[in-house]
Structure 1
Amino acid sequence: MVYIQKLLVSYTGLPHQSRPDLCFDVLDLSTSVQLSEAKTQSKLNKVIRKAKNNSYRIKYPNLESLKNIELILYTDASYANLSDRVSSAGGYVIFLRGQNGKNCPISWSSKKIRRVVKSTLAAEALSLVDGLDACYFVRSILQEMIKLNAGESIPINCFTDNKSLCQNIHSTKLISEKRLCLDLASIKESVSLGDITVTWIKTSSQISDCLTKAGADFHPLIKVLSTGKGP
């Protein structure tokens, strides 16, 4: 088991550096503490085969100009789908989009949502909050680099395939889950101030789907990363 743990550690950094298609597989393995050694070894072997059998290049396209750039955030979550059967997976991918329409990858993440949630809505909301936190950090650095005029800000456009989340964000009604109200309130405030937009998209267009689910098609995300063209 010690050998398996060491091998898993060696693969932990790879997904976040250059292989987002392995993100969920490694995340799921890291929560497989209740599985037998044989089952853990079997899952690890599948990850290794996947890493060896698939290869691609990530393209950082020329945006030509830093005028009218925007941050694009795709977020997704899956409710109680990790190996411990109570934790949920959340994931996001961030692009910097130029006025020429090209998408430059900035960051992606797949991790266990920070607390046990009661619903898919809560999982999706917390995943969006985490993605927005990352976007705010990236935006602060970019705005210092390009020295925007006073009052100007790089827009953040968020995309989710959870219609209930999108409806709740754009609604004045309060939900019954009080703890979740606080998380949604922070998103609603940013939307009302015009700081961000949150748009619903079809699941077929959700390129971060593979960051939160086993067996999800990772090719749409890889296509954007390797071509710089949006979904």
Structure 2
Amino acid sequence: MASSPNLTIDSGTPLADATEYRTVIGSLQYLSFTRPDIAFVVNRLSKFMHKPTDKHWQAAKHVLRYLAGTKSHGIFLRSDGTLTIHAFSDADWGRAHNTYISTNAYIIYFGASPISWSSKKQRSVSRSSTEAEYRAVANAASELRWICSLLSEMGIVLPVAPVLYCDNVGATYLCANPVFHTRTKHIAINYHFVREFIQAGVLRVTHVSRTDQLADALTKPLRRPQFQELTSKIGVRV
């Protein structure tokens, strides 16, 4: 997706017939189950399904051209991977200038292979970047817990607790700090949800530099070089 201009519901002229747009986006939603590199753009374009414009349609065709040029790309699931789970969690704070609702994203790896990812809007406006990032951590922690429960039912025992990487220092400190500050009461549910897992020793939240944050490609449109680099690091390859 082009990094600029920022698409909104009012961008462009409404389409006389939105059937083709909705059909394409509906198909792309299924394709994003196996292509994490298009997760963000599919989530963004899905927001305009009720009233698409010519600008939205141009962005959708841009995705189709990208897919036509990367038909051989996919995810390689290794059979010799280690029995470890780690994840990257990120949030783009208030980028949607019409609503200022942040975008959550996470990518979860089993060994070196990505097995689960998500890119979606948060339910409400976050009042700080730390709050937005912490909500993303809670969202990823919920998916991690489900995956660990599934592995447990299959008789697979993980040698170490899953690690969740977050590039926000404030959110990382909030996970590690057992003191619940009054200024964070508005995120109480997410706080206690994550803290319960950390105190039980079934999850570790670790800081990662912004340059190593693989989930960044699932929160915002990036310039071509950065997008291609992150796509390769995520695990989408020829």
Does the TM-score normalized on the shorter chain lie above 0.5?
yes
Distance 2:159 2:152 in 1: 7
State how 1:36-185 maps to structure 2 within 5 Å: 37-55=53-71, 56-63=73-80, 69-82=83-96, 84-97=98-111, 103-146=112-155, 148=157, 155-171=161-177, 172-185=179-192
SS at match of 1:176: helix
Q: Matches of 2:29 and 2:97 in 1, distance apart? A: 17
**Does the CA contact (< 8 Å) of 2:217 and 2:230 recur in 1?**
no
Q: Which residue of 2 aligns with 1:211?
A: 218
RMSD (CA atoms) = 2.4
- TM-aligned CA distance change 1:48 to 1:175, over 3 Å: farther
1:120, CA displacement in angstroms?
A: 1.7
Alpha-carbon deviation of 1:38?
1.5
CA 1:124 to 1:167, structure 2 compared with 1: closer, same or farther past 3 Å?
same
Aligned partner of 2:209: which letter? Answer: K
Query: What amino acid does structure 1 have at the position aligned with 2:232?
Result: I
Shift of 1:107: 0.8
1:70 is displaced (CA, Å) by 2.2
Name the amino acid aligned to 2:106.
Answer: Y
Q: Is the 8 A contact 1:175 1:181 kept in 2?
A: no
* 1:81 partner letter: R
How far off its partner does 1:95 sit?
Answer: 0.9
Shift of 1:155: 1.4
Q: Which runs of 5+ in 1 are unaligned?
A: 98-102
Q: Which runs of 5+ in 2 are unaligned?
A: 1-17
Q: Is contact 2:22-2:49 (8 Å) kept?
A: no
* 2:94 partner letter: A
Aligned residue for 1:197? Answer: 204
Alignment partners' CA distance in 2, 1:224 and 1:34: 31
Judge conservation of contact 1:31–1:84 (CA < 8 Å) in 2: no
CA shift for structure 1 position 153 = 7.2
Q: What is the identity percentage for the equivalent residue pairs of Structure 1 and Structure 2?
A: 23
Relative to structure 1, the CA distance from residue 5 to residue 83 in structure 2 (aligned partners, 3 Å threshold; closer, same or farther) is farther
State the 1:11 CA deviation. Answer: 1.2
